[in-house]
Structure 1
Amino acid sequence: MKPYIDFLKDKMCIAPDSGIDAQVGNIEFLDGTKLKPHQRDSINWALRGGRRALFQSFGLGKTIQQLIICKTIVEHEGGKSLIVAPLEVRHEFAKDAERKLGVKLCYVRTMDEVKGADASLLITNYERVRDGDIDPRFFTVTSLDEASVLRGYGTKTYQTFLNLFQGVKYKYVATATPSPNKYKELIHYAGYLEIMDTGQALTRFFKRDSTKANNLKLHPHKEEEFWLWLSTWALFITKPSDLGYDDTGYDLPQLKVIEHELKVDHSTAGTEDDGQVKMFRDATTGLKDASREKRESIYVRVAKMREIIDADPDSHYIIWHDLEAERHAIKKALPESRWIYGSQKEEERAENAIGFSDGKFKYLSTKPEISGSGANFQYHCHKAIFLGIGYKFNDFIQAVHRIYRFLQSEQVEIHIIYTESERSIYETLMHKWEQHRRLVDMMTEIVRKYGLNSFDAVTRLERSIWEKKIIKKGKNWTAVNADNVIAIADRPDDSVDLIHTSIPFSNHYEYTPTYNDFGHNVDNDKFFEQMDYLTPELMRVLKPGRVAAIHVKDRILFGNATGSGMPTVDPFSDLTVSHFMKHGFMYMGRITVVTDVVRENNQTYRLGWTEQCKDGTKMGVGCPEYILLFRKLPTDTSRAYADETVKKTKQEYPRSRWQIDAHQFWRSSGDRLLTSAELEKVSVGDMQKTYREFSRASVYDYHDHINLAEKLQQREKLPSGFMVVAPGSWHPDVWDDVNRMRTLNGEQARKDLEFHICPLQFDIVERIINRYSSKGEVVLDPFGGLMTVPYMAVKMGRYGIGYELNPQSFKDGLSYLKAADIEAATPTLFDLEGITA
Structure 2
Amino acid sequence: MTDAYQQFIEAKVCTAPEHGFEVDPALVNPAMKPHCRAIVPWLLQGGRRALFASFGLHKTVIQLEAVRLASEHAGGRGLIVLPLGVRQEFRRDAVERLGWAEPPKFIRRIEEASATGVYLTNYETVRDGKLDPRHFDATSLDEADCLRGFGGSKTFREFMALFAGDDRAAGVRTDGIRYRFVATATPSPNDYIELLAYAAYLGIMDVAAAKTRFFKRNSEKADQLTLHPHKEEEFWLWVSSWALFVQRPSDLGFSDEGYTLPELDVRWHEIPTNHADAGTEKDGQGRLFRNAAIGVQDAAREKRESLPARVAKLQEIRSEDLAAHRILWHDLEDERRAIEKAVPDAVSVYGSQDLDDREQAIIDFSDGKFRELAAKPVIAGAGCNFQRHCAWAVFLGIGFKFRDFIQAIHRIQRFGQTQRVRIDLIYTEAEREVRQQLERKWNQHNRMADKMSNIIREFGLAHAAMASKLARSLGVERVEASGEHYTVVNNDCVDETRRMDADSVHLIVTSIPFGTQYEYSANYRDFGHTDDNAHFWQQMDFLIPELLRVLQPGRIAAIHVKDRITPGGINGFGFQTVQPFSDECVAAFQKHGFAFLARKTIVTDVVRENSQTYRLGWTEQCKDGSRMGAGMPEYLLIFRKPPTDRSNGYADVPVVKDKATFTRPRWQFDAHGLTRSSGDRPLLPEELEGLDQAAIFKLFKRHSLENVYDFRHDVRIAEAVDRSGWLPTSFMLLQPQSWHPDVWTDITRMRTLNSTQAAKGKEQHLCPLQFDIVERGIEQYSMPGEVVYDPFAGLGTVPYMAVKMGRYGRGCELANLYFLDACAYCAGAERGLSMPGLFDALEQQAAA
**Alpha-carbon spacing, 1:462–1:656, altered in 2? closer, same or farther (3 Å):** farther
**Alpha-carbon spacing, 1:497–1:162, altered in 2? closer, same or farther (3 Å):** same
Quote how far apart the aligned CAs of 1:464 are: 3.3
The residue that corresponds to 2:732 in the other structure is none
Q: Is the 8 A contact 1:146 1:174 kept in 2?
A: yes
**Alpha-carbon spacing, 1:831–1:129, altered in 2? closer, same or farther (3 Å):** same
Q: Residue 499 of structure 2: SS of its match in structure 1?
A: coil
Match of 2:786 among 771, 774, 777: 777
**Alpha-carbon spacing, 1:671–1:334, altered in 2? closer, same or farther (3 Å):** closer
The AA in structure 2 aligned to 1:788 is T
The residue that corresponds to 1:129 in the other structure is 126
The residue that corresponds to 2:768 in the other structure is 758
Match of 1:463 among 452, 472, 485: 472
The residue that corresponds to 1:697 in the other structure is none
Match of 2:511 among 492, 502, 511: 502
Q: Residue 25 of structure 2: SS of its match in structure 1?
A: coil
The AA in structure 2 aligned to 1:14 is T
Partners of 2:65 and 2:534 lie apart in 1 by: 40
Q: Residue 443 of structure 1: SS of its match in structure 2?
A: helix
Output the aligned Cα RMSD.
Answer: 3.9
Cα distance per residue 1:28-75 (max 9 Å; x no partner): 65xxxx422322222122111111111111001100100110111122
Summarize the alignment of residues 676-695 of structure 1 with structure 2, pairs less than 5 Å apart: 678-679=755-756, 681-682=758-759
Cα distance per residue 1:88-124 (max 9 Å; x no partner): 1111111221232324344343334344x47611001
Quote how far apart the aligned CAs of 1:276 are: 8.8
The residue that corresponds to 1:161 in the other structure is 159
Summarize the alignment of residues 432-471 of structure 1 with structure 2, pairs less than 5 Å apart: 432-471=441-480
**Alpha-carbon spacing, 1:473–1:256, altered in 2? closer, same or farther (3 Å):** same
The residue that corresponds to 2:320 in the other structure is 308
Summarize the alignment of residues 659-674 of structure 1 with structure 2, pairs less than 5 Å apart: 659=668, 661-662=670-671, 663-666=741-744, 670=748
The residue that corresponds to 1:187 in the other structure is 196
Match of 1:76 among 73, 77, 81: 73
Match of 2:387 among 371, 375, 378: 378
**Alpha-carbon spacing, 1:386–1:497, altered in 2? closer, same or farther (3 Å):** closer
The AA in structure 1 aligned to 2:742 is Q
Larger displacement relative to structure 2 (186-195 or 640-649): 640-649
1:176 is aligned to 2:185:
yes
Partners of 1:672 and 1:357 lie apart in 2 by: 62
The AA in structure 1 aligned to 2:452 is M
The residue that corresponds to 2:251 in the other structure is 242
TM-score (ref. length: structure 1):
0.80
Q: Residue 768 of structure 2: SS of its match in structure 1?
A: coil
Q: Is the 8 A contact 1:105 1:122 kept in 2?
A: no
Partners of 2:12 and 2:75 lie apart in 1 by: 34
Partners of 2:607 and 2:379 lie apart in 1 by: 50
Quote how far apart the aligned CAs of 1:491 are: 1.8
Quote how far apart the aligned CAs of 1:13 are: 3.1
The AA in structure 1 aligned to 2:587 is S
Partners of 1:90 and 1:667 lie apart in 2 by: 63
Q: Is the 8 A contact 1:151 1:178 kept in 2?
A: no
Q: Is the 8 A contact 1:317 1:383 kept in 2?
A: yes
Q: Is the 8 A contact 1:53 1:233 kept in 2?
A: yes
Q: Residue 53 of structure 1: SS of its match in structure 2?
A: strand
Q: Residue 308 of structure 1: SS of its match in structure 2?
A: coil
Structure 2: give runs of 5+ residues left out of the alignment. 165-175, 672-740
TM-score (ref. length: structure 2):
0.79
Summarize the alignment of residues 3-402 of structure 1 with structure 2, pairs less than 5 Å apart: 3-25=4-26, 34-99=31-96, 100-115=98-113, 117=114, 120-153=117-150, 154-166=152-164, 167-179=176-188, 181-261=190-270, 285-286=297-298, 289=301, 292-293=304-305, 296-297=308-309, 300-301=312-313, 303-310=315-322, 316-320=325-329, 357=366, 368-402=377-411
Q: Is the 8 A contact 1:567 1:606 kept in 2?
A: yes
Partners of 1:387 and 1:114 lie apart in 2 by: 41
Partners of 2:569 and 2:536 lie apart in 1 by: 22
The AA in structure 1 aligned to 2:119 is L
**Alpha-carbon spacing, 1:475–1:93, altered in 2? closer, same or farther (3 Å):** same
Partners of 2:626 and 2:340 lie apart in 1 by: 55
**Alpha-carbon spacing, 1:774–1:104, altered in 2? closer, same or farther (3 Å):** same
Partners of 1:420 and 1:332 lie apart in 2 by: 25
Partners of 1:779 and 1:51 lie apart in 2 by: 50
**Alpha-carbon spacing, 1:238–1:660, altered in 2? closer, same or farther (3 Å):** farther
**Alpha-carbon spacing, 1:607–1:299, altered in 2? closer, same or farther (3 Å):** closer
Q: Residue 84 of structure 1: SS of its match in structure 2?
A: strand
Partners of 2:845 and 2:247 lie apart in 1 by: 53
Partners of 1:119 and 1:560 lie apart in 2 by: 35
**Alpha-carbon spacing, 1:282–1:112, altered in 2? closer, same or farther (3 Å):** same
Partners of 2:406 and 2:82 lie apart in 1 by: 18
Match of 2:537 among 509, 528, 532: 528
Q: Is the 8 A contact 1:509 1:755 kept in 2?
A: no
Summarize the alignment of residues 481-496 of structure 1 with structure 2, pairs less than 5 Å apart: 481-496=490-505
Q: Is the 8 A contact 2:273 2:306 kept in 1?
A: no
Q: Is the 8 A contact 1:672 1:759 kept in 2?
A: no
Q: Is the 8 A contact 1:511 1:757 kept in 2?
A: no
**Alpha-carbon spacing, 1:764–1:351, altered in 2? closer, same or farther (3 Å):** closer
Quote how far apart the aligned CAs of 1:757 are: 4.1
Partners of 1:302 and 1:456 lie apart in 2 by: 52
Partners of 2:277 and 2:770 lie apart in 1 by: 62
Cα distance per residue 1:304-323 (max 9 Å; x no partner): 2441214xx5x654454567
Cα distance per residue 1:419-444 (max 9 Å; x no partner): 66766655554444334323323333
Q: Is the 8 A contact 1:146 1:175 kept in 2?
A: yes
**Alpha-carbon spacing, 1:267–1:196, altered in 2? closer, same or farther (3 Å):** same
How many pairs does the alignment contain?
Answer: 760
